[in-house]
Amino acid sequence: MSTDISRDAGTAPVTPPSPAARSRRTPAKAAGAVLVLLICASLPLWAFPDDYSVGILMQIAIYAGYGLSWHLLAGYTGQYAFGHAAFFGAGAYVMAIFSYHTGLSPWLGLGLAAIGAAVVGLLVGLIALRVSGLFFGLITFGTALMLGVAANQLVGLTGGAAGLSLPLHLGDAGMMQFDTQVPLYEITLVIVAGYLLLTWALLRSRLGLLFRSVRDDPVAADASGVNIRGVRLGALCLSAAMAGLIGAIYAQSLLFIDPESAFGLTQSVNAIFTAIIGGMGSLFGPVLGAAVFVLLREVGMTISDGDGVYSVLFYSTVVFVFIMVAPKGLVGIGRRLFGLVRRDAGKRE
């Protein structure tokens, strides 16, 4: 039964256009992407200079990266991690524990966080990849739960349920702390851009083809000599490292981490929210989804006077109605609109 689940999971079409059309459109698309990125990077300078707005931009960037890491795994290899916070939180805690206990620069911690999360991914994968589909999802879910218990219990290392506050070095760039949030926001944007580039390059590489073959028809892929387990494990480790790196940035942006925000159910669901709101199987979907998700959450916070419960109620309801109406996400709506335009243009030719 797990086979059929992984097979028809991720039915979002990723049909590549013909090579000629692709090479014609690629430079324009790339230029557009760079332009959008530059605009995003410059937003704090001209549009939203205040601390509150930069904080929101920061969150959007973080959830974009987090959503991209989940989507790489689910969208392209069909492995649905219900507990993606296991990797996000592992990265956040590696970062926090490292800088708290050694006093060394968090810049080193970034690398360690990615490696630590990848190791968690590897361990999960070695067990979880004996099965696939929903079972895989449940094991990541349970891993997040277990790591949450560990973070609560190992008080000497993690500070327990009260969390871990990182030492202040305000204005010390060597310690990755700045006078404003803007530099950290720019760093996060660079990471997100890196994730986009990585996903894009993967999609047109042989490896990307292997990813999708494992998603669309594992039996046929196996018969064609594809090392299914190896491909799945590789994708899982890569995705985990990406989530861990973003988790480290998250911890550094707050200078605080606790078990609930690192490994909680909400944090796992957030990754899925961003990817699905944006639309599965599209490169920029998670970025769009992150913007919508963070803004919805802020609107919810505002209209409920900062009551987190009503905020969750608000954005969950909006997301629910949205997916019942538009299951293909924002990108799906966009495609439908542009699809109509393009078809018209084709007729005129």
Site track for other proteins across 214-253, x = CB under 8 A: ----xx--x-----xx------------------------
- Which H, E and C letters describe 8-40, residue by residue? HCCCCCCCCCCHHHHHHHHHHHHHHHHHHHHHH
Q: How far is the CB of 119 from other proteins (least distance, A)?
A: 17
312 is an interface residue for other proteins by CB under 8 A:
yes
Question: In this complex, which beta carbon is closest to other proteins, that of residue 189 or of residue 237?
Answer: 237
CA 229 – CA 120 distance, rounded (Å): 17
CA 119 – CA 117 distance, rounded (Å): 5
- Among 265, 299, 301, 333, the residue binding other proteins under the rule CB under 8 A is 265
CA 312 – CA 264 distance, rounded (Å): 14
Question: Where is 165: in which H helix or E strand?
Answer: strand 164-165
Q: How far is the CB of 333 from other proteins (least distance, A)?
A: 14
Per CB under 8 A, contacts with other proteins among 138-157 are 138-139, 141-142, 145-146, 149, 152-153
Q: For residues 294 and 59, is the Cβ–Cβ distance under 8 A? A: yes
Per CB under 8 A, contacts with other proteins among 25-64 are none
207 is an interface residue for other proteins by CB under 8 A:
no
Q: What angle do CA 226, 13, 195 make, to 5 degrees?
A: 70
What is the Cβ-side half-sphere exposure of residue 46, based on CA atoms within 13 angstroms?
5
70 is an interface residue for other proteins by CB under 8 A:
no
CA 321 – CA 331 distance, rounded (Å): 16
Q: Quickly list H helices, 159-227.
A: 182-203, 206-216, 218-223
- Among 100, 323, 334, 335, the residue binding other proteins under the rule CB under 8 A is 323
Question: In this complex, which beta carbon is closest to other proteins, that of residue 175 or of residue 272?
Answer: 272
Question: In this complex, which beta carbon is closest to other proteins, that of residue 105 or of residue 152?
Answer: 152
The CA R_g of the chain, rounded to the nearest whole Å, is: 20
135 is an interface residue for other proteins by CB under 8 A:
yes
Residues lying near other proteins in the complex (CB under 8 A) are found at 1-3, 5, 8-12, 74, 80, 82, 127, 129-132, 134-135, 138-139, 141-142, 145-146, 149, 152-153, 218-219, 222, 228-229, 265, 269, 272-273, 276, 280, 309-310, 312-313, 316-317, 319-320, 323-324, 327
